[in-house]
Structure 1
């Protein structure tokens, strides 16, 4: 049985569509259909029931593909392990992150990563959509959340902290002096997410948490455009420290509540690295995890990433 053909039928089971597999491989759906038909002919039974609207595994197909899928993964893992032992990390690494985190934290590190691992090719998928990591063949994802759940392997990359900030040209340019009423009455810049758009959480030195209602006539769907609007002096914004640390250091932005902790939903939030559960972690994914942890873990404390080679 041809291993590549088996990989195709396993992908069809995962994606549930000849067309989706074809798009991912850059081939015609008819090629995928012929490949599946050839495997079925060699096996002597149907793997999938096909209708005009639906593709589903047969009972025999589901049983067969459950076992074959694990074998295909083991064969790929064995190949990766042998290559890693001889030439180091190699292959295509598909890495996804949000647009803002990708642009600010990951992209500046790419030259150093390429210098260390020249045989690893990168497919950087920066999007604010939550991708299906398995269906999209993502090797490594970075997600920002208080916590993550599901069947994926998850490890914390770094803690994330948020600050309420504005450009010096906004207001007095010297903070709010702890006056939360001023913040509540300000025309704030808001992110178009339910947890971010109508109230922020503020915690003082005693641990007292205040829910501050916010309002404003500017609403943004992108963290990067929200950040740019804050730089323009259009109002206060709640932004992650990893995005604004350099601006706070240079004075382009002012921390309006320096004596307080600030958050949208929870104060204990993090950037997490997620990858599909496998018995063997490919060398390309392992070196990426180690590299990002080394370079970005300090960002959770200092807000400034190491970008040197």
Structure 2
């Protein structure tokens, strides 16, 4: 039955693939994958979504999804071209079609909510006059309350997932400690984690208002993997694996940010300004080894918006919008098997 499946697969390929060796460009086109190749190490990786096939020139194997080694005739390099034996090409294409897949099912296993500041660090803090009385509104309090609201919503919706807050009281956490809490969560092999940092904004202008959603700029490259975190047989292709992982997290961060932004616009777009999606190099998202975003809920320097942010009613709107955005992202992530289908 297996031989028949391979034969049917070969017959379904374009005529350009029928020869002793095929050019890797044909396999990339057939699978819709991208290629990263290190000419010094003579190792490469084809990737589409979370499906990966790694190889080393002349090695009699390919590695699927960083874990399953399949014996295959070796890939050759001639005159700058990568040539793949017909049998190997069939297996690679089968992996991306699901025929050779080890049957991995990806899911979001954990959600980390990080209310910014706390303790000695109040964040943005402003005093506004209300009915003749001065009211002090601090960022650390606003985002902690919003974090609790979001936590309760997510915990109820996803009882099978770990939902964690980096702080649940008025304590000081360093910027390094926050993402490290998320990075230290133990997950299953095919589980993902997302990181949501909550903040409130401030400006020299008292009229600035609105919400923003930030993600890590694509030009910033994180070191996500180390020789200690992968098997020795993958050390030769570690730089390629790291680059692919980083691109994957950046893409998923953008999708998460878009999902939340759409829901915020729906919930409060008529009450305040949608300041859009933004790229930045905030330390907490730089250090998070996962899809990560930072949300600015509004401006405490704006009296009217600060008073809204201090009210449970408006915070509930914001929290519910973020919850809807996260839920939509998770649903799409899991239904598409981490955007691979």
Structure 1 length-normalised TM: 0.28
Q: Which has the higher contact order (CA 8 A, sep 6+)?
A: 1
Structure 2 length-normalised TM: 0.27
